[in-house]
């Protein structure tokens, strides 16, 4: 084969692979901004689905972190989550076994990029509760913004119902 044809085939095959690994976010304004489905409902979504997601976050007691990349390990994200100021208020425990966890945080890194993605799901139902991404050169650096986004999403659902002390 001649060289231009090989380049075109290579371009289209790699482009489709990269597009398959990118998370589907309809209207993201910033690369480091989370998309919380529980906090920002779609206009055409049913109220029962929204309340079901919020209730799943409220009822959760344990979280398991599953990572699919060597760049951002589960222990690194655990440390970053525990450093967040609202983490203690959430009343959640991080567990090692995925079978006994209520929520699962799945972390990945898009191939050939510096984009680290996460998805928070309810283990019992498989419902996606939140998803987002952070752009950083290293997983240690990315763990801070990812943890901040996750705690912000969980706090919006769990701490909104708690009465404020004056």
Evaluate whether 63 touches 129 at the Cβ level (below 8 Å). Answer: no
- pTM for the full model? 0.69
Residue ranges with strand state E in 10-163: 35-36, 62-67, 93-95, 103-109, 115-122, 128-135
Q: What is the pLDDT along the chain (166 residues), one digit of tens a residue?
A: 566 666 665 555 565 555 555 554 444 444 455 554 445 555 555 668 888 899 999 999 999 999 999 999 999 999 999 999 999 999 999 998 878 899 999 999 999 999 999 999 999 999 999 999 999 999 999 999 999 999 999 999 998 755 555 4
**Domain 3-158 part of CATH 3.30.43:** no
């Amino acid at each position: 084969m001649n060289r231009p044809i090989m380049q075109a085939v290579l371009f289209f095959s790699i482009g489709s692979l990269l597009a398959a690994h990118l998370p589907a976010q309809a209207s993201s304004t910033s690369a480091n901004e989370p998309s919380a489905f529980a906090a920002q409902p779609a206009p055409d979504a049913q109220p029962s689905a929204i309340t079901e997601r919020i209730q799943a976050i409220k009822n959760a007691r344990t979280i398991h972190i599953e990572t699919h990349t060597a760049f951002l390990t589960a222990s690194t994200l655990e440390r970053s989550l525990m450093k967040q100021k609202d983490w203690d208020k959430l009343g959640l425990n991080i567990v090692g076994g995925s079978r006994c966890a209520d929520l699962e945080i799945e972390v990945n890194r898009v191939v050939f990029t510096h984009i680290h993605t996460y998805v928070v799901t309810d283990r019992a139902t498989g419902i996606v509760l939140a998803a987002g991404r952070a752009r950083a050169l290293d997983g240690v650096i990315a763990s801070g913004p990812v943890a901040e986004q996750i705690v912000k999403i969980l706090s919006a659902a769990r701490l909104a119902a708690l009465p404020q002390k004056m």
